[in-house]
Structure 1
Amino acid sequence: MKKITVISFLLMFQINLFSQTVYNLNALTGRGDLELIGDSYKLQKEAFEAFNAMKDAAAVEGVTIEIVSSYRSFEHQKRIWKRKYKMFISKGLSPRLAIAKIIEYSTIPGTSRHHWGTDIDIIDGSVSKPKNILIEENYFDKGVYSNLKKWMDENSEKFGFYLVYTNNSSRKGFKFEPWHYSFKLLSKPMLVEFKKIDLGNLYTKIELKGYKFLTQEFLEKYNKENIFDINPNLDN
């Protein structure tokens, strides 16, 4: 894809998105009210089309970008939370420590960026899948997805996709995820609206394993470090 085509492609989205700045609670927390397209992996239309343009450009250079996770509903995220919570509790961890282990990589249901239909976890589909797919070493040095990572470093932002959880040593919250990208033109205004949600009030109404330990103090720290301490390009 020629550079001018990429620029025109993104300008088209920027023009279409100027009026789309308000999202309701259901849309922001994975409980509906989002228009999604796709088969196995769903995204909002603009993110879906931008991803396909990026995928086509990468294919020309021998890189096959494959999505392994995109939109996840609240209930999907809740199942992940429940499974991990039970696993850590069964290993003898206290509820507080179990939650601390979960939020190294996984979000509290209702707070995942994957609820927005803007974020993707990706691998290179042209190579054989290792036993563990989404681990850091796969994306560097001689890792199976190192060519994908190099291509994304050089090209992803041209298509509006930005790495979310960077390897900046001063960043707190979720650990480095070299596979997780976000379509900025949609996710940035959604983050603005998400910041207005009172999570303490939200979790008094939701049955969730360990919810009694999601205190106001915990949620304020979680918001600051896990939700908002991201690639600054996605928040300004």
Structure 2
Amino acid sequence: MRVPSLFRFFILLSVSSTWLFVQPAFAESDSGPYSGISPLSYLLGAYSPEKTLVAYKNPGDSRIFYLRQETLSAFLKMVEAYKKDHPEERQIPFLVSAFRSFNDQKGIWEDKFTGKRKMREGIQGKNPLQIINLILEYSSAPGTSRHHWGTDIDINSLENSYFEKGGRGEKLYQWLRQNAFKYGFCQPYSPRSERGNKGYDEEKWHWSYARLANDFQKDWEKEYKKGNLTLTGKFLGSETLGELPMEYVGSVNPECKSISGRR
């Protein structure tokens, strides 16, 4: 629902004969976070990115990536800062993934669930929960990915070794660790030891525009607890997830939470 910037709509609610004014949980302005899209659809990635995200191509690359304007602006500023600090460096940040819809994530998930896509181990002889735990090392269940929000990007390589000692992206990763927060970014999936040994394995390539993503995460967790984000029956293995979605959405690098958001 859209709310004019100078006014708020209030819902008149009667509780025990007392009239209260309650602000909608997702009240927003015309430039607000959901841009006219149903908040629940947005949080689940069940929308067309053309409606609220912007398109971007890496220089010399024909692939189109969608992300929020705020995310893109901050990313481009960060790229320029890195180039200024390392004018000799050829490995500058570039996108390999950004927005992914519910259906995009469903395709990844079900390809892994059925063994069509390679994982660390094969699925033969494993029960559904064992397969799910294997998938969740690096892939989110549909409806639970931060990539649904247009705030998260994967850069340069989907291999941690690229960013580690001796890798082509070692210098870039060290710079990001020291400077990304200045532009509102953080690495959400830092070593699991920093996150109570919960959630996904470390992803050195995954960076989140926390100034917005923190708020979307809070909204996701709130709506999931209220039972408004229903996943059961929407993809293979969904009946076996239990409370894993809450654990994996919430198990984020504590440094991300220190980046101030829009609210």
Query: What is the TM-score of this pair, normalised by structure 2?
Result: 0.71
Matched, 1:178 2:195: no
Name the count of aligned residue pairs.
204
Task: Give yes or no for contact 2:141–2:245 (8 Å, CA) kept in 1.
Answer: no
- Structure possessing the higher radius of gyration over alpha carbons: 2
**In 1, Cα distance between equivalents of 2:158 and 2:255:** 23
Residue 166 of structure 2 is matched in structure 1 by 142
Q: How does 1:67-216 map onto structure 2 within 5 Å?
A: 67-87=95-115, 91-123=124-156, 133-167=157-191, 169-171=193-195, 172-198=198-224, 202-204=230-232, 206-214=233-241
Task: Give yes or no for contact 1:38–1:48 (8 Å, CA) kept in 2.
Answer: no
**In 1, Cα distance between equivalents of 2:182 and 2:53:** 23
SS at match of 1:51: helix
Residue 27 of structure 1 is matched in structure 2 by 42
Unaligned runs of 5+ in 1: 1-16, 124-132
**In 2, Cα distance between equivalents of 1:85 and 1:46:** 34
Q: CA deviation at 1:135?
A: 2.0
Residue 3 of structure 1 is matched in structure 2 by none
Q: Among 92, 95, 99, which residue is 1:64 paired with?
A: 92
Task: Give yes or no for contact 2:55–2:67 (8 Å, CA) kept in 1.
Answer: yes
Q: CA deviation at 1:170?
A: 4.5
Spell out, residue by residue over 1:78-113, the C-alpha distance to the aligned partner (whole angstroms, 9 max, x if none): 000010001177533211111110011111100000
Task: Give yes or no for contact 2:194–2:253 (8 Å, CA) kept in 1.
Answer: no
**In 2, Cα distance between equivalents of 1:48 and 1:21:** 15
Spell out, residue by residue over 1:37-75, the C-alpha distance to the aligned partner (whole angstroms, 9 max, x if none): 023111111111111111122223234101111100000
Residue 128 of structure 1 is matched in structure 2 by none
Unaligned runs of 5+ in 2: 1-28, 57-63, 116-120, 259-263
Amino acid at match of 2:78: M
* TM-align CA RMSD: 2.3
**In 2, Cα distance between equivalents of 1:235 and 1:20:** 21
Task: Give yes or no for contact 2:54–2:67 (8 Å, CA) kept in 1.
Answer: yes
Residue 232 of structure 1 is matched in structure 2 by 254
Query: What is the TM-score of this pair, normalised by structure 1?
Result: 0.79
User: CA 1:213–1:168 in structure 2 vs 1: closer, same or farther (change >3 Å)?
Assistant: closer
SS at match of 2:133: helix
